[in-house]
Amino acid sequence: MNAIKSLLRPLLLAGALLPLAGCNTLLLNAPGDVARQQGDLIIVSTVLMLLIIVPVIALTLFFAWRYRASNTKATYKPDWDHSTQLELLIWAAPLLIIIVLGAITWVSTHTLDPYRPLDRIKAGQPVAADVKPLEIEVVALDWKWLFLYPEYNIATINEIAAPVDRPIKFKITASSVMNSFYIPALAGQIYAMPGMETQLHAVMNHPGEYEGFSANYSGAGFSHMRFKFHGLDQAGFDRWVQNNRAGGQTLERAGYLELEKPSEKEPVRRYSAVAPGLYKAILNRCVDASKMCMDEMMMIDANGGLGNSANALAPRRRGDLRGGPVVLSAMCVTEPSAVPSWGVATLAP
């Protein structure tokens, strides 16, 4: 029997530790400086809260054992109901923890603001004044990711790369439903929403291949909405750019409209060139030439609506994102005969 117990004990211990085998400590030891700071924030907050939780649990168990019914040596005071010293201890300790957590939250909320340009590459290394961030335009599609590099005029599907120790500025939007852009090794998740632009500033400090995905359910193909992030040295990144330019095709507006259609498990695609103004047209939901751009529509609204827009816009001679004229049309017409004289107006550029 003793031999069986001695054999079962390590097996039971191994079984208890088995769930921990799948733990990934990437979030707490990330290779990207922003993600690392976020991981440090998790650790500090957890430790501060454990300063209260652990003593409370320990004292609860101690009191249950110390004042059990069978312990006749324990002091018995059925009429006791107050202790000033105990009240101060009970309230002062949590209050101090809350004050410290509040201060940390205030500072980290500003320093780790995703819209805030980076002021450091890593601890002890500030961003040089002449360093220009790498701008990457991100579009969440159904169910794939489109990445555009305006500095290099290239684009990719389900693959992204950046040089290490260079700040990255992501401009993020979506084509249809809301998604969440997330690279755990780089920084926290940021939502991608149609007709809106969010931003994320981050930096990768160590070369490697890292996982990226959508962290917000967006339909049937959500599970396969994943991509690879490649952290490369400058020479490797330059080669990656050249490979995209050499082996790709041009991403025109018509090609984007086909790409926008829902599809799953899309392989990596590369585009050696991108149609001018494509990202801005995606953001304003007017890649299709038959649709008015959102910014033009908002300008119409800001100038008093359809009734006053022709006079308000005429002096500006402003065209839409495709370079064509602004077309104003009646929005609430039920019959063709009901169209007022100002219902349709075309402003030549």
Mean pLDDT of 340-348: 41
Q: Which of 91, 112, 133 is the last residue of a domain?
A: 112
Shared-domain flag, residues 138 and 181: yes
Q: Please tell me whether residues 279 and 132 are part of one structural domain.
A: yes
What's the mean per-residue pLDDT of the chain? 84
Residue 12 domain-assigned?
A: no
Q: Which of 283, 306, 331 is the last residue of a domain?
A: 283
Could you tell me if 130 and 245 lie in one domain?
A: yes
| CATH number of residue 178's parent domain | 2.60.40.420
176: nearest Cα among 208, 215, 213, 218: 218
**What's the pLDDT score for residue 309?**
47
Domain identity same for 43 and 148: no
Q: 228 near 212, Cβ under 8 Å?
A: yes
Q: Are residues 304 and 213 in the same domain?
A: no
Determine the 3-state secondary structure of 9 from DSSP: helix
Mean pLDDT of 335-349: 42
Domain range holding 271?
Answer: 125-283
Question: Does any domain span residue 97?
Answer: yes
Q: Could you report the per-residue pLDDT of 244-298, keeping only the tens digit for each? A: 998 778 999 999 999 999 999 999 999 999 999 999 999 999 998 888 898 888 8
First to last CA, the chain: 94
Domain identity same for 179 and 241: yes
Q: In whole angstroms, what is the distance from residue 107 CA to residue 27 CA? A: 20
Q: Which secondary structure element, helix H or strand E, spans residue 174, and what is its range?
A: strand 168-174
Q: For the segment 7-20, what is each residue's pLDDT rounded down to a tens digit?
A: 555 655 555 555 55
What is the spatial distance between Cα 27 and Cα 295, in angstroms, rounded to a whole number? Answer: 38
| Pair 95, 199 in one domain | no
Assigned domain for 157 exists: yes
CB 173 within 8 A of CB 138: yes
Q: What is the pLDDT of residues 105-134, one digit of tens each?
A: 999 999 999 999 999 999 999 999 999 999
Please report where in the chains the tokens 């000033």 appear, as a residue. 84
- Do the Cβ atoms of 128 and 171 come closer than 8 Å? no
pTM to 2 decimal places: 0.77
CA–CA distance from 140 to each of 126, 162, 194 (Å)? 32, 19, 9
Do residues 105 and 129 both lie within one domain?
A: no
Query: Residue 269 falls within a domain, yes or no?
Result: yes
Q: The domain spanning residue 47 has which CATH number?
A: 1.10.287
CB contact at 8 A, 193 and 282 = no
Q: Are 178 and 163 in contact (CB under 8 A)?
A: no
Q: Which of 145, 182, 147 is nearest to 30 (CA)?
A: 182
Q: What total number of domains does the chain contain?
A: 3
In-domain check, residue 151: yes
pLDDT band at 141 (very low <50, low <70, confident <90, very high): very high
Does one domain contain both 300 and 257?
no
* 237 in a structural domain: yes
Q: Domain for residue 7, yes or no?
A: no
108 and 171, same structural domain? no
147 and 274, same structural domain?
Answer: yes
Query: Span 50-59, mean pLDDT?
Result: 92
- 182 and 103 assigned to the same domain: no
Kindly report, residue by residue over 144-202, the tens digit of the pLDDT: 999 999 999 999 999 999 999 999 999 999 999 999 999 999 999 999 999 999 999 99
Pair 142, 219: CB distance under 8 Å: yes
In a domain, 288, yes or no: no
pLDDT (0 to 100) of residue 248: 73
- Name the domain boundary from 261, 283, 305: 283
